[in-house]
Amino acid sequence: MTTLAVVSAGLGQPSSTRLLADRLAAATSGALPDVTVETIDLRDHAHAMVDATLTGFPSGTFRAAVETVTDADGLIAVTPIFNASYNGLFKTFFDVLEDGALDGTPVLLGATGGTARHSLAIDHAMRPLFAYLRASAAPTGVYAASEDWGSGETALPDRITRAGTELAALMSARPAPPKPGPYDAPVPFEELLARR
């Protein structure tokens, strides 16, 4: 069984960011044989996320959301673009993950905005974030401006399908490696001493 986590940083309800996230999830899961999709609306965890930045640990249902993402075989991360970048909610979520939590995880990047003028924010803002996190981002990112939702053109659906297929291929090619915890296999002390 493969798991696909979907993180949406949309603030409205209903949210066009969530709408895009769902479309991307459908495109991805349609290209995989056996996949469970788990979607997290960050808005539901807004207070808990700020608490976690202050206390250093995720609490309550937010902890389960974090584990869903860090244990997933693939991730779809979608944010509205605010002031030329991802919104604060989106960044806060990735700030509270443990170091290495997304090492090698295939990720599909998506973003929404009022106009197409911000579409490069995916490549200028989101992609460097996921490079830092050592996640493996699919080549195609999908940006949906308001106008795309009422367009008869197939540009957006085509991009969604292409991106979903890419993520599915990354997930199939690279099953998530086991991530040993930091306390499972300590570096023997003689080795620590010799490293000096």
Q: Does 103 bind another protein (CB under 8 A)?
A: no
Does 1 help bind another protein (rule: CB under 8 A)? no
Each residue 27-66 as x (binds another protein by CB under 8 A) or -, in order, gives -----------------------xx--xxxx-xx------
Residue 106: name the closest of 183, 41, 24 by CA: 24
Binding piece for another protein, criterion CB under 8 A, among 112-120, 141-149, 164-172, 175-183: 175-183
What is the spatial distance between Cα 176 and Cα 105, in angstroms, rounded to a whole number? Answer: 7
* Binding-site size, another protein (CB under 8 A): 19
Query: Residue 1 or 193: which CB sits closer to another protein?
Result: 193
Token pair 């930045």 is at which residue? 53
CA atoms within 13 A on the CB side of 177: 9
Q: Whose Cβ is closer to another protein: residue 14's or residue 56's?
A: 56
| 18 within 8 A of 41, measured Cβ to Cβ | yes
- Continuous segment of H or E residues that includes residue 89: helix 88-95
Interface residues with another protein (CB under 8 A) are: 50-51, 54-57, 59-60, 181-183, 186-189, 192-193, 195-196
